[in-house]
Structure 1
Amino acid sequence: MASSNSVGDLNIESKNIKTASGVSLSDHQKTIVGSVLDLFAGRPSLAKLQLWKDEAEFTDPLTIAKGRKQYEAQWYGLQTAFSEIERLNHEVKSNGNPIEMDLDTRYVVKGIGKEQKISSKIEIWMEGDKIVKVADKWDGSLPEGTIAQVSSIWTLLSPLWWYHYNEAWAFYLWSFTWETTIWRAFRRLNAVTVPNIVGVPKNAKEDAERGNQ
């Protein structure tokens, strides 16, 4: 694991954490949730990712990223894939393990200007004081059907994919197709491919040069 000096100081930008009625968070939980909100907003840093265990996992409809090399590339990849990322709303629903949160986000794809809004159910699993898993479930689920025709985050840069996106999503909602072997393979392919394309900063200096921290 990198030393605190090499990754820089921890600077959480998302400090105003909204919670549902009756839900309260400890100071450390606020730090964890704030760091995850920063990541989804395209504001990663090496220091924030030190809140994750080396063997932690990130899953969403596009990837199953296991281990630091894979999940760090996914978070830094957002800066490459999208020109705008806007958090529309969030609310923490549960302070258990996992911490559960609703999140609405607007994305604009670089180069083509395509806008997409995604509503997510976020689950943050902890082991001790560190994150061991984050699951991003679009519209409350991890689709495994027609929407699964994405082999990499870079597919998102294809105008053709975005042209068919709405049709694919509608078909998914109708078909309720779950956990196909092919789709799991695509998600794992994404996790393996993205680290070879997305450069992760080696130290705090490189991170700061990218505008992070």
Structure 2
Amino acid sequence: MTSQSNTVSASSLGELHNDPSKLSYDPTLKLSKRHLEHAALVLDIFQGKGTMTKINNGFTEDSIYEDPVAIGHDRQEVAGQLLHISTVTSSTKTNKFNIIDLTSNVETETGSKRKVKADLIQVEFNHDLNFKIGPTYNLDTTLQIYSTEEGIVRLQDRPGDKIPDNGFAMALRKLNGVVAPKVAGVPQNQKEDAEKALKQDII
């Protein structure tokens, strides 16, 4: 494994599994190459094809990820939440990934509370996660991807669901974001990223 990982290039670790030019989207939307690449990156991640190299290339250092039960306030925490889909699932199946809306220059906040203007990409997403232990889970959601020239600054899953705002629930969400990368671990260098990718047949 180690000798193989030494031959894996950074470019192959960062190569998108999904071709951005082949994504489904409303033809009236004026999507740039960057918009399509960021959408393809998010699809890669939910399909268990994410790598730390892709996260580093595509998300800002202070990016934020939010869903009703988890929150990550920086790139490491985002990776801790999303890079282990391939660890806990035996397979995934995307039933729908369709870009339905693009709104330019939307003001939002990063994980560090930095205010930025971003292009909001909204995606109808229906996806099956076949867990190694437990039943198949169907994710039927609208993803919100906040895209900037710097990278993705914010990713929200199920924004229409009520995200818990009471103190205890919010504490659990924050704890999950901090503990997940420490317990499960995220690759700290190219060699570790390559070893994980090879072990899980990501590349």
TM-score using structure 1 length: 0.74
User: 2:185 aligns to what?
Assistant: 199
In the alignment, is the contact (CA less than 8 A) between 2:35 and 2:147 conserved in 1? no
The reply on whether 1:185 has 2:189 as its aligned counterpart is no
Q: Which structure 2 residues correspond to residues 34-45 of structure 1 after superposition, within 5 A?
A: 34-45=40-51
In structure 2, the residue matched to 1:127 is 148
- Deviation by residue 1:15-51 (Cα, 9 ceiling, x = unmatched): 1211024123211111111111101111111221121
Alignment of 1:41-60 (within 5 A): 41-50=47-56, 51-60=58-67
Q: Which residue is 2:5 aligned to?
A: none
Query: Equivalents in 2 of 1:91, 1:207: separation in Å?
Result: 29
What is the aligned partner in structure 2 of residue 33 from structure 1? 39
SS in 2 for 1:210: helix
Q: How many residues were matched structurally? A: 172
Question: Which of the two has greater strand per residue?
Answer: 2
Letter in structure 1 aligned against 2:170: R
Q: List runs of 5+ in structure 1 lacking aligned partners.
A: 1-5, 145-177
For 1:88-136, what per-residue CA distance to the aligned partner results, in whole angstroms no more than 9, with x for missing partners?
1110012222111111110122223x11111111111123331110001
Change in Cα spacing, 1:7 to 1:46, as seen in structure 2 (3 Å) is farther
**Alignment-derived partner of residue 14 in structure 1:** 18
Residues 56 and 67 in structure 1, CA contact (< 8 A), matched pair in contact too: yes
Normalising by structure 2, we get a TM-score of 0.77
Say if 2:135 is the partner of 1:118. no
State the distance in 2 between where 1:53 and 1:27 align. 18
- The 1-side partners of 2:137 and 2:90 are apart by 12
Equivalent in the alignment of 2:157 = 136
Give me the identity figure in percent.
21
Q: Verify the 8 A CA contact 2:130 2:137 in the aligned structure 1.
A: yes
Gaps of 5+ in 2: 1-7, 104-118
Letter in 1 for 2:84: G
Whichever residue aligns with residue 61 of structure 1, its letter is P
1:95 to 84, 99, 102: 102
